[in-house]
Chain A
Amino acid sequence: MSLWRRPPDSGPSFKRQLDRVYQVYTAGFILLVVMLAVLEQLGLSREWISSIFLMVTIGVYAGIGIMSRTTDATEYYVAGRSVPAIYNGMAVGSDWMSAASFMGMAGTLYLTGYNGLAFVMGWSGGYCLVALLLAPYLRKFGQFTIPDFLGERYGGHLPRLLGIAAAILCSFTYVVAQISGVGLITASLTGVAFELGIFLGLGGILVCSFLGGMRAVTWTQVAQYIVIIIAYLVPVLWLSVKQTGVPVPQAIYGFQLEKVTAKERLLTHDPTEVEVRDIYRLRAQELADKLSDPAAAMLADRQQAEERLSRLRQEGASLSQTAAAERQLAMLPRDVDAAVALWTRQKQEADTKSKPLNGMPPHAIPFTGDPQGSLAERREYEESRRNFLALVFCLMVGTAALPHILMRYYTVPDVQEARKSVAWSLLFICLLYFTAPALAVMIKFEVFHGLVGTPMDQLPQWISTWNRVDPALLSVNDVNQDGKLQLNELTIGGDILVLAMPEIAGLPFVISGLVAAGGLAAALSTADGLLLTIASALSHDLYYKMIDPNASTARRVTISKVLLLVVALMAAYVAAQKPADILFLVSAAFSFAAAAFFPALVLGIFWKRANGLAASLGMIAGLAMTFYYMATTQPWLRAVFGITSPVELWWGIQPISAGVFGVPVGFAVIILVSLVSPRPDGATRALVEGIRLPGKAGGAKDDRPL
C-alpha cells in the first residue's frame, strides 16, 4: 500500500496526504464515540460498549500495521527517514506516554501534591537535553540504532555490545510494565482474566510492529496519540465545566487549588478527623508493640482466637459465627516472618493514616518538613528538597537517554526537521502534562467537597464498584463508627484515579470506555516502540554488525521479526507472573539509561578526545554505581540479593534517584581515562566533525545506501 510510503521527492504532497488521512481518522473516531454515546442512551449494555471500543481501536492499529508491512531495511528500522517533523512529534508523544503517564501521573499528583510535579518537570525538561545535545547530531550521524552510534563513534565491539546490553536492560523492564498495563485495562474493560488480557493486547502490538517495523509503528503511534489525547482531555474538560463552568481546566484550576487549600486547613483541625487519626495512632502503637516481640505476640493472638472459638462453641453460637471465628484463626500468619511482614505493612498504613490529610502533604506547598521548625523538621525539609531535585535530574537525563525515544529522531528527513520535531514532541507531550495536575486538583476538590462527610450508606456507586475490583485500590472503613466518611477513612490507590474519574465525575459510561481505550493506546504505543528497540539492537547491532556482516537485508529483517516475537512472548510471560515491584523497575530504567548512555553519547558528540576504552569503562562504571546504590538501598532488590546490612542512604537520596550518582561517575571515568590513553584516530575525529555540521556538509551519511 503506497499510502504510508513517501514516493521519492514528494515531501509537501506526502504531508498533505497524511494530513487528510489523519483528519478523516480523527473525525471517524469522534463519530464512533458519539455513536456509542447515543447507543448507550438507547440501552446498549456496558459490556458491548467496552468490547466495541477495544475491538475497533485494536482493529484499526492492526489495519495500519498490515497496510504498512515491509521487508526493506530502511523502511523497517527507520520508516524510510521520511516522517515529517510534526508527525514524528506525535509519534514521540505516544511512544513517550506510557501506561504510567496516562494512568499513574494524575494519581501520583493527587497523592503527593507539589512533590509529584517532579515527574511533570523531569519528563518534559528532558526534551531540552534531547533537542540541544542529542537529536540533531544523531540524525546527522544517520544510522539505525543507538548502539550503532556508540559502535561507530568509539570503534570496536565493546562499546556497541555495552550499548546493546544497556538498551535491552532499560527497554525490557519498561515493556513488562506496559504489557501488565495492557492486561489490567483489557481485563477491567471486558471482564476477561488478566493473563488472557495480556495476550489479547500482545496480539495488537505484534500485528503492528511485526509486519511493518518502524514504518508501521510510526503511523500507528500517530493514530494512538490522537486516541490518547482525546481520551484524556474530554473527561477533564467535562469535569471542569461541571465544577467551574469553564471548559479550560488548565487555566482555571488555580481557583480550585485555592479552595482545596482552604479545605485542607479545615480538615486538618476537624474534630472527627482528629478522632480517626487518634484511633490509627493507637493501632500503630499496638502493632509496634507486637513487632518488638513477634513470637510472643503471635502466640497471644493464636490463644485469643482459640479461646474465642471454644467459647462460641460452648455457648452454642450460630454456625456462621463459629465459621467466621474459624476463618479468623486460619487467617493468622503461619510463621514469624509472615507475621512481621504483615504487621510491618499494617503499621505503615496506620502510620500514614494517623497523619493529617491521610498522609498527603498540603497540595500547593513545595516539599515536606519545615525550614524554621525543629531539628528533625529542618532535616526532613532539606532531604525532601534534595530528593525532589535529584529525581528531576534523573528523569530528565534518563529521558534524554532512553533508546526508544532517541531512535525516533532517525526517522525524520534531515537535521532541521529533527530539531523542529523535538519542539513538536514537547508540545504534544505537554498537552497531557498540563492537564494531569489540573485533573489531580479537580479530583481532590471532588473528594473533599463531594465525598468527605457523606453518610456511609449514601456513598456513590463507584466506590463499591472499584472496591470489588480490588480492595487494595479503593476501600472505605468507618473506624470511628460515626456513620460518616472522614478523609482518613478512605484509601485510594493512585493507579485507578484516571480510570475511575469518569464515574467520580458522574459521566456516562461511554466516557469510561473512551478513557480505557486511551490507556490501552498509551500502553500499546510505548510497548511497540520498546519491542522494536530491543529487536533492532539484537538483529541489527548484534547479528548484522557483529556476527554476520554479510547477511542480506531480507534476512536481517526476518531475524528482527522472529526476535520481536520471542521478546514479546518473554515480556508477556514475565508480566503474567506479576513481578512485585514493577513500578519501581520502571523508574529504575530511567536511572540506568541515564548512567549508561548519557555521558557516552554527549561526550562522543562534544568532545573529540573521548575514546573507546574510556567510553566502555565509563558506561560500566556508571551502570555499576547506579546498580550498587539501588541494590543496597531498595527493599525489594535488597531482598533479591540477600543484603542484610543496615540501609545507608547517601545524603538521604532515595534509591529511585540512584542515577544522580551514576551519571557523574560515568562522566568522570570517561574524561579521566580518555586523558591518560591515546586519542582517537583521524577517521573518528572526522566523523565527529562531520556530525557537527549541518545538511550534507562534512561527509554526511544521510540516506547512505545499505
Chain B
Amino acid sequence: MSVQQRIRYWRTTLRLTLGLLVLWFLVTFGVSFFARELDFTFFGWPFSFWMAAQGSLLIYGIIITVYAVAMGRLDKALEEQERRDRA
C-alpha cells in the first residue's frame, strides 16, 4: 500500500468522523440548549421532550450505523486497491 493511499484513507476517515461528530454535537448540545424555546407539538409530543427521550437516541443510532457502513466500504475499497497493486 502506497503512502499516498494510506494518507487518503486516513483523511477520508477523519472527514467522516468530524462530520458525524458535528452532527452529534448539534443534536446533543445544540437542541438541548434551545430546549425551552423549541416549544411546539411534534406528532402529539412536546418537541423538546421527544427529542431528548427518543429523537436524539435515534440520531445517535443513525450516526453509528452510517459510520460502520461507510468505514466498511472504505476498508473494502482499500483492500481491493491493494490487491490490484499486488497483481
Q: Which of A104-121 contact B (CB under 8 A)?
A: 114, 117, 120-121
Which of A51-59, A253-261, A331-339, A508-516 faces chain B?
Answer: A253-261
Measured CA separation A393–B25 after assembly (Å)? 10
Distance in Å from the Cβ of B2 to the closest Cβ of chain A? 12
Check B35–A695 contact: CB distance below 8 A. Answer: no
Given A121-B56, A416-B72, A693-B6, 18 other A-B residues pairs in contact with their CB atoms under 8 A: A121-B32, A125-B24, A128-B24, A128-B64, A254-B44, A385-B32, A385-B33, A392-B32, A419-B64, A419-B68, A419-B71, A422-B64, A423-B61, A426-B60, A426-B61, A427-B61, A694-B74, A697-B1
Check B45–A257 contact: CB distance below 8 A. Answer: yes
Check A389–B33 contact: CB distance below 8 A. Answer: yes
Measured CA separation A416–B75 after assembly (Å)? 9
Determine whether A388 belongs to the interface, using a CB cutoff of 8 Å to chain B: yes
Chain A residues with Cβ under 8 A from B9's Cβ? 693-694
**What per-residue 1/0 map shows which CB atoms of A376-404 lie under 8 Å from chain B?**
00000100010011001100100000000
The listed residue (A120, A381, A389) touching B53 by CB distance below 8 A is A120
**What per-residue 1/0 map shows which CB atoms of A398-415 lie under 8 Å from chain B?**
000000000000000001
Instruction: Enumerate 17 A-B pairs (CB-CB under 8 Å) in ascending A order.
Output: A114-B35, A117-B52, A127-B60, A133-B17, A255-B44, A257-B46, A257-B49, A364-B49, A365-B36, A366-B52, A389-B29, A392-B29, A393-B29, A396-B28, A426-B60, A692-B10, A698-B6
Distance in Å from the Cβ of B75 to the closest Cβ of chain A? 4
**What per-residue 1/0 map shows which CB atoms of A409-440 lie under 8 Å from chain B?**
00000011001101100110010011001000
Determine whether A131 belongs to the interface, using a CB cutoff of 8 Å to chain B: yes
Chain A residues with Cβ under 8 A from B10's Cβ? 692-693
Check B6–A689 contact: CB distance below 8 A. Answer: yes
Measured CA separation A396–B25 after assembly (Å)? 11
Determine whether B4 belongs to the interface, using a CB cutoff of 8 Å to chain A: no
Distance in Å from the Cβ of A54 to the closest Cβ of chain B? 33
Check B64–A426 contact: CB distance below 8 A. Answer: yes
Main secondary structure of the interface of A (DSSP, over half): helix
Q: A367-B35, A385-B33 are in contact. Are A125 and B56 (CB under 8 A)?
A: yes
Determine whether A526 belongs to the interface, using a CB cutoff of 8 Å to chain B: no
Determine whether A136 belongs to the interface, using a CB cutoff of 8 Å to chain B: yes
Determine whether A652 belongs to the interface, using a CB cutoff of 8 Å to chain B: no
Measured CA separation A694–B71 after assembly (Å)? 9
Measured CA separation A120–B56 after assembly (Å)? 10
The listed residue (A124, A389, A698) touching B57 by CB distance below 8 A is A124
Determine whether A250 belongs to the interface, using a CB cutoff of 8 Å to chain B: yes
Check B36–A136 contact: CB distance below 8 A. Answer: no
Check A366–B49 contact: CB distance below 8 A. Answer: yes
A385 to chain B: closest residue by CB:
B33
Q: Which of A655-706 contact B (CB under 8 A)?
A: 689, 692-695, 697-698
Distance in Å from the Cβ of A367 to the closest Cβ of chain B? 6
A365 to chain B: closest residue by CB:
B36
Chain B residues with Cβ under 8 A from A547's Cβ? none
Distance in Å from the Cβ of B57 to the closest Cβ of chain A? 5
Chain B residues with Cβ under 8 A from A426's Cβ? 57, 60-61, 64
Distance in Å from the Cβ of A537 to the closest Cβ of chain B? 28
Check B72–A419 contact: CB distance below 8 A. Answer: yes
Measured CA separation A121–B28 after assembly (Å)? 8
Chain A residues with Cβ under 8 A from B24's Cβ? 125, 128-129, 132
Query: Which of the four size classes fits the interface of chain B?
Result: 35 or more
Check B61–A389 contact: CB distance below 8 A. Answer: no
Measured CA separation A381–B34 after assembly (Å)? 12
A120 to chain B: closest residue by CB:
B53
**What per-residue 1/0 map shows which CB atoms of A342-379 lie under 8 Å from chain B?**
00000000000000000000011111000100000000
Check B63–A366 contact: CB distance below 8 A. Answer: no
Residue from B1, B63, B64 whose CB has the most chain A CB atoms within 10 Å: B64
Measured CA separation A242–B82 after assembly (Å)? 60
Chain A residues with Cβ under 8 A from B64's Cβ? 127-128, 131-132, 419, 422-423, 426
Chain A residues with Cβ under 8 A from B27's Cβ? 125
Distance in Å from the Cβ of A202 to the closest Cβ of chain B? 34
Check A392–B28 contact: CB distance below 8 A. Answer: yes
Chain B residues with Cβ under 8 A from A698's Cβ? 6
Q: A131-B68, A132-B21 are in contact. Are A125 and B49 (CB under 8 A)?
A: no
Q: A125-B24, A127-B64, A437-B53 are in contact. Are A366 and B36 (CB under 8 A)?
A: yes
Measured CA separation A689–B82 after assembly (Å)? 17
A414 to chain B: closest residue by CB:
B75
Measured CA separation A422–B45 after assembly (Å)? 29
Measured CA separation A556–B69 after assembly (Å)? 38
Q: A121-B52, A125-B28, A133-B17 are in contact. Are A364 and B46 (CB under 8 A)?
A: yes
Residue from B50, B53, B63, B64 whose CB has the most chain A CB atoms within 10 Å: B53
Distance in Å from the Cβ of B66 to the closest Cβ of chain A? 10
Chain B residues with Cβ under 8 A from A381's Cβ? 36
Measured CA separation A366–B53 after assembly (Å)? 12
Give the 6 A-B CB pairs with smallest separation, nearest first. A366-B35, A117-B52, A694-B75, A419-B68, A254-B45, A437-B53
B44 to chain A: closest residue by CB:
A254
The listed residue (A125, A254, A420) touching B60 by CB distance below 8 A is A125
Chain B residues with Cβ under 8 A from A389's Cβ? 29, 32-33
Measured CA separation A385–B30 after assembly (Å)? 12
Check A132–B56 contact: CB distance below 8 A. Answer: no
Q: Which of A252-295 contact B (CB under 8 A)?
A: 254-255, 257-258
Chain A residues with Cβ under 8 A from B71's Cβ? 136, 416, 419, 694
B75 to chain A: closest residue by CB:
A694
Measured CA separation A285–B63 after assembly (Å)? 52
Check A120–B68 contact: CB distance below 8 A. Answer: no
Chain A residues with Cβ under 8 A from B72's Cβ? 416, 419
Chain B residues with Cβ under 8 A from A132's Cβ? 17, 20-21, 24, 63-64, 67
Q: Which of B1-43 contact A (CB under 8 A)?
A: 1, 6, 9-10, 13, 17, 20-21, 24, 27-29, 32-33, 35-36, 43
The listed residue (A124, A128, A258) touching B20 by CB distance below 8 A is A128
